[in-house]
Amino acid sequence: MKEVFSYVRPACDFAGVLSHEASVGVVDGRMEAYNKTLVVSQPCDLPNFSVPVVDFDNALRRLEDPTLRVTDQNVILTGNTRVKRLANRTALKRPECETHEISDLANLLDVIDEVFSFTEGNPARPWSEGARFDQTTVTATNSVMLIQSELNADSGLEGVTLSRTALAYIRLRRADLKSWAWTDRGLLMDFTDGAWALAAKMSMEMPEQAVGLLSQIEDWSEMQSITDEYRGSVMRAADWAEELLEIHEDKIHAGKFSTDHDEPAQTNLGDKVPALFSAKDLVTVIGTANHVGFDRYPNPVPFTTKSGSKGLIAGRS
């Protein structure tokens, strides 16, 4: 039961005011819930019930291996924990459409894992909190940093920005994803166990021009190799940063309030000293990149990853 609920939990509305919205339940062998960004319907072997999700979640967290029994008034967990029932639910309706079979799931998951950290954007630019799929190309950007990855097979999606919520749910289910389709309500996902989920459309799609930004970089050669030692220096310096990191030839400088910190590190900057970057964005890039062209600063700085993805990070002037 805990595993079933773990798949439904991301769709639960824990802050809902109306009881039927802030609830989770089972209808005809399917545990179901929905919120503003996600709908999930998961097959299960449980009797029909509906309960407040906050109370049900709290009970399951406290019970190691709960059993479940339903009475007219309560859902009884492991004999002595009772959650009061709500009115019976109406089954959720799966959108009627054909889905595109995922032909190389392992590669798709690898790409989603790589771009996911680049989807922590700005709510004022909703598309920065997602990744755009253009057949075999996946792009994520917050207007300061960008990453673009290539899929081995056609995704079946063209010009569609999938929300961070959708990507997170795919990462949760991993090998269970079977097929998907873009509908007028958002991304419909089918899973191998018979579950389905619907991730809502984003309010704004990623701009078309973002996909072509990498074409500005003509030379991807002779970039600095990012070693584990260098990566560690950036991460340690970022802990001392309020907002920015200063990259010097022989150190990374950070400051917060009345504290300054220098972390030794050798960087190929050419004659550009220092190079300024958002600490948060640089940490994201360095955590993924294996080569970075710091010497291109103050122009956008290119980087590549071990898997072959390419990207850019803009510095501060």
Q: pLDDT digit string (tens) for 110-119?
A: 999 999 999 9
Residue 111 to residues 99, 102, 104, 201: CA-CA distances in angstroms? 20, 13, 11, 21
3-state SS, residue 194: coil
Res 21: pLDDT: 76
What's the mean pLDDT in 210-234?
94
| CATH topology (fold) of 2-84 | DNA Polymerase III; Chain A, domain 2 (3.10.150)
Confidence class of residue 87 from pLDDT cuts 50, 70 and 90? very high
Counting Cα atoms < 13 Å in the Cβ hemisphere of 33 gives: 27
Distance CA 252, CA 261 (A): 8
Of the options 3.10.150.10, 3.40.140.10, 3.40.140.80, 2.40.50.100, the CATH number for the domain spanning 224-313: 3.10.150.10
- Tens-place pLDDT, residues 29-76: 999 999 999 999 999 999 999 999 999 999 999 999 899 999 999 999
- Judged against a pLDDT cut of 80, whether residue 272 lies above it is answered with no
- Tens-place pLDDT, residues 275-314: 999 999 999 999 999 999 999 999 999 999 999 999 999 9
Length, in residues, of the chain:
317
Res 223: pLDDT: 96
pTM as predicted: 0.93
- Judged against a pLDDT cut of 90, whether residue 19 lies above it is answered with no
Domains in the chain: boundaries = 2-84, 100-216, 224-313
Helices (H), the chain: 2-8, 53-62, 105-116, 164-173, 208-211, 228-238, 279-286
CATH code for the domain defined by 100-216: 3.10.150.10
What's the mean pLDDT in 238-253?
96
